[in-house]
Amino acid sequence: MLKLDGISSFVAIAEVGSISAAARRLNLSKSVVSERLAELERGLGAPLFHRTTRKLSLTEDGAAFLERAVGIVREVDDAAAEVSERRGKLTGPMRLSAGVTFGRMHLGPALYPFLAKNPSISLTLELDDRRVDASADGFDAVIRHGAIADTRLVAWTLATSRRCLVASPEYLKRNGRPKSLADLEQHRAVYYLNRGVADWRFIDVRSDEFVRPAAALRVNNGDMMLDATLAGLGLALLPTFIVGAALKAGSLVNVGVGQAAAQEFVYVAHPEGRRASAKLRALVDCLREAFGDPPYWDAVG
């Protein structure tokens, strides 16, 4: 019979890439983790890793077994957490994905008090601006800004998100200030690479009704978009959670062109069909309270 501790050790080794690192994660000795893996391989009758002096890599059997093993470990962790939750205690692992800029500027400060209040929760937070597959990548939830493209997700709104067309005073001094959508054709812009030029959407305006500025820079990170706009490279359509402080300081200017940007939201979303845990629901409540309604970042600009 296969033992759960062997399966857990195998998953940890596969995720971190070595027995030593897995032992540190599991707070066990390297010899114990190595023996658990060997016992699991004997039980399965197949090697799960190719072993070299430099690294471990999954065998074909190992890769096939890993997909099921991750689910087994997750189900056991969820079951143990549910028992604790029934007793009024939030506990167990939780894995989230969030965008880099929002995570650094706003999510982190809201998370830290929640984790301090619930020390039995072990949170893994991965900051990445790419779109992730919450289910396939093993996330309990993803936190994103804008529309949720994955229809296999159940989304909850955390906060509204207002976007502004902004530029530096120096850029406007050199290039003039656009006063209408028609004027944008004569300007340059900084675009978010993961959305592209088509991201410039305004309320009650068709996408073909105006010509968007030529790109001075396309980049997949909000921090660099902010820096490039501050440096005077061009106009940018950015959420106030990024540009609020710069607007307040006067280092960026809100450029009115007679149209408001389309409304967006900050979402948390979890895979459809998976029950949202008590700790995820508690986290959502905590984040909503921390961000406010309207959110605190809309108090400026």
Segments making up each domain of the chain, as ranges: 4-84, 90-160+265-299, 163-262
What's the rounded mean pLDDT across residues 187-207?
84
Q: Rounded to whole angstroms, how far apart are CA atoms 292 and 301?
A: 17
Please state which of the four CATH numbers 3.50.30.10, 1.10.10.10, 3.40.50.970, 3.10.450.30 is assigned to the domain occupying 4-84: 1.10.10.10
- Give the pLDDT of residue 168: 97
Report the pLDDT averaged over residues 165-188.
Answer: 95
CATH code, residues 163-262: 3.40.190.10
pLDDT at res. 301: 42
Summarised one tens digit per residue, pLDDT across range 250-271 is 999 999 888 888 888 999 988 7
The model's confidence at residue 23, banded by pLDDT at 50, 70 and 90, is confident
* CA separation, residue 100 to residues 140, 145, 200, 222 (Å): 18, 11, 21, 8
CATH topology of domain 90-160+265-299: D-Maltodextrin-Binding Protein; domain 2 (3.40.190)
- CATH topology of 90-160+265-299 equal to that of 163-262? yes
Looking at per-residue pLDDT, the higher value among 134 and 20 belongs to: 20
Residue 218 banded pLDDT, cuts 50, 70, 90:
very high
Mean pLDDT calculated for residue range 91-114: 92
Contact 69, 12 (CB under 8 A): no
Is 273 a residue whose pLDDT tops 60?
no
pLDDT of residue 214: 93
List C-alpha distances in Å: 82 to 87, 91, 253: 9, 9, 49
Choose from 166-175, 193-202, 259-268 the range with maximum mean pLDDT.
166-175
Does the pLDDT value for residue 299 go beyond 50? yes
What local confidence, expressed as pLDDT, does residue 205 receive? 83
Distance CA 105, CA 202 (A): 26
User: 54 or 4: which carries more pLDDT confidence?
Assistant: 4
Report the relative pairing of strands 188-192 and 214-219 from DSSP bridges. Answer: parallel
Token reading at 41: 């391989």
